[in-house]
């Protein structure tokens, strides 16, 4: 039977070091032990003191430090370039009820807003390189209103189009059924005038001062129709009616009345003058106004019968 002897910490001697490297678990070693070069080399693993591993480790640490400084520099540059702060992003400031923008804003896609207003006493300009579209409608409904502004034209699609003045009164209204102009006068300037393909219903048509009023149809006829009456009046001048063909005055129910102090019909043909001497005839020419069976008027001598000769083929043809 053997005897097992144990050795305490005190018996191990001052050179015994427990633990890993320079981390003893008992009493600190003497000064002679701590000053030993071999002991100091043992404080760090070998991979941290010699070889290519040390070089690689230091290179990784330097690279990480450069990345950190580069990120900090880029962050500071972005903050300075965008002028970021607690309440604004450059020219855009967050205010109660919306945002406040100073300068210009570029909208790449769609801009959705309930109200767009300018600063006090400052204009607002909307500029687009190709076209500008304002659309109002709900996503689930097909019907919507759209204002489409091109480079050289402007289009609007919707049920009705209203134009109002500064007081809120209507100036212009256009729809599928009718177009209305709420003004004292509709003035159309230009050599072509107003071109209407269908009908015009107006209570009054008058020309501007010192200008003529012309109702003209270049290739077709011109009709003036009224359910009650048509009144033509010239207070300071005359009324001229010129026709290349016939001028027809037709009254179905009533009669045609010509009321004037003098009625002059020029270029009427005269009937053949008789050879009988005319008695009590003045020096001025006096004729009878006669009519053919076809309704054609001609002049005859005052003492001659108001009829054309049978052999006269040019008077009543």
Domain boundaries defined on the chain: 263-317
**Residues 29 and 14: beta-carbon distance below 8 Å:** yes
Q: What is the 3-state secondary structure (H, E, C) of the chain?
A: CCCCCCCCCCCCCCCCCCCCCCCCCCCCCCHHHHCCHHHHHCCCCHHHCCCHHHHHHHHHHHHHHHHHHHHHHHHHHHHHHHCECCCEECCEEEECCEEEECCCCCCCCCCCCCCCCCCCCCCCCCCCCCCEEEEECCCCCCCCEEEEECCCCEEEECCEEEEECCCCCEEEEEECCCEEECCCCCCCCCCCCCCCCCCCCCCCCCCCCCCCCCCCCCCCCCCCCCCCCCCCCCCCCCCCCCCCCCCCCCCCCCCCCCCCCCCCCCCCCECCCCCCCCCCCCCCCCCEEEECCCCCEEEECCCCCCCCCCCCCCCCC
The answer to whether the CB of 162 falls within 8 A of the CB of 170 is yes
Q: Cβ contacts of residue 311 below 8 Å, gap of 6+?
A: none
For residue 217, give the nearest of 204, 199, 232 by alpha carbon: 199
Give the per-residue pLDDT at 61. Answer: 94
**CB 87, CB 93: distance < 8 Å:** yes
Q: Are 14 and 30 in contact (CB under 8 A)?
A: yes
Task: Check residue 75 and give its pLDDT.
Answer: 93
**pLDDT number for residue 72:** 96
Token pair in block for residue 259: 């009321």
pLDDT at 290: 86
**Amino acid 46: pLDDT:** 63
Q: Which of 200, 206, 265, 194 is nearest to 233 (CA)?
A: 206
Provide the whole-model pTM.
0.41
Residue-level pLDDT, tens digit, the chain, 317 residues? 444 444 444 444 455 444 445 555 555 555 544 445 555 555 656 655 667 778 888 899 999 999 999 999 999 999 888 888 777 777 788 888 888 888 788 888 888 888 888 888 888 888 888 888 888 877 777 778 888 888 888 888 888 899 999 888 899 999 888 888 888 777 777 777 777 777 777 777 777 777 777 777 777 778 888 888 888 888 878 888 888 888 888 888 888 888 888 888 887 887 765 555 555 555 557 788 888 877 788 888 777 778 777 667 777 76
Closest CA to 315 of 293, 284, 283: 293
């Amino acid at each position: 039977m053997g005897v097992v002897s144990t050795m305490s910490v005190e018996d191990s001697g001052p050179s015994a070091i427990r633990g890993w490297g320079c981390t003893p678990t008992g009493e600190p070693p003497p000064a002679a032990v701590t000053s030993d070069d071999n002991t100091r080399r043992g404080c760090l693993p070998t991979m941290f003191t010699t070889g290519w591993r040390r070089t690689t480790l230091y290179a990784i640490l330097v690279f990480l430090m450069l990345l950190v400084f580069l990120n900090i520099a880029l962050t500071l540059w972005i903050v300075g370039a965008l002028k970021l702060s607690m309440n604004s992003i450059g020219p855009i400031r967050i205010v109660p009820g919306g945002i406040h923008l100073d300068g210009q804003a570029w909208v790449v896609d769609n801009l959705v807003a309930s109200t767009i207003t300018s600063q006090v006493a400052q204009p607002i300009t909307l500029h687009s390189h190709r076209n500008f579209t304002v659309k109002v409608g709900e996503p689930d409904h097909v019907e919507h209103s759209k204002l489409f502004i091109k480079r050289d034209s402007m289009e609007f699609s919707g049920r009705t189009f209203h134009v109002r003045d500064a007081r809120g009164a209507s100036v212009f209204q256009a729809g599928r059924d009718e177009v209305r102009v709420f003004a004292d006068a509709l003035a159309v300037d230009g050599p072509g005038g107003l071109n209407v393909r269908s009908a015009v219903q107006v209570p009054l048509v008058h020309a501007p001062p010192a200008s003529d009023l012309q109702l003209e149809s270049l290739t077709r006829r011109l009709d003036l129709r009224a359910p009650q009456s048509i009144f033509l009046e010239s207070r300071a001048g005359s009324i001229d009616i010129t026709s290349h063909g016939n001028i027809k005055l037709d009254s179905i129910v009533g009669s045609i009345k010509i009321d004037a102090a003098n009625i002059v019909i020029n270029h009427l043909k005269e009937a053949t003058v008789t050879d009988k001497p005319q008695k009590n005839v003045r020096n001025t020419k006096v004729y009878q106004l006669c009519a053919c069976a076809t309704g054609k008027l001609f002049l005859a001598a005052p003492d001659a019968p108001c009829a054309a000769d049978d052999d006269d083929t040019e008077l009543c043809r």
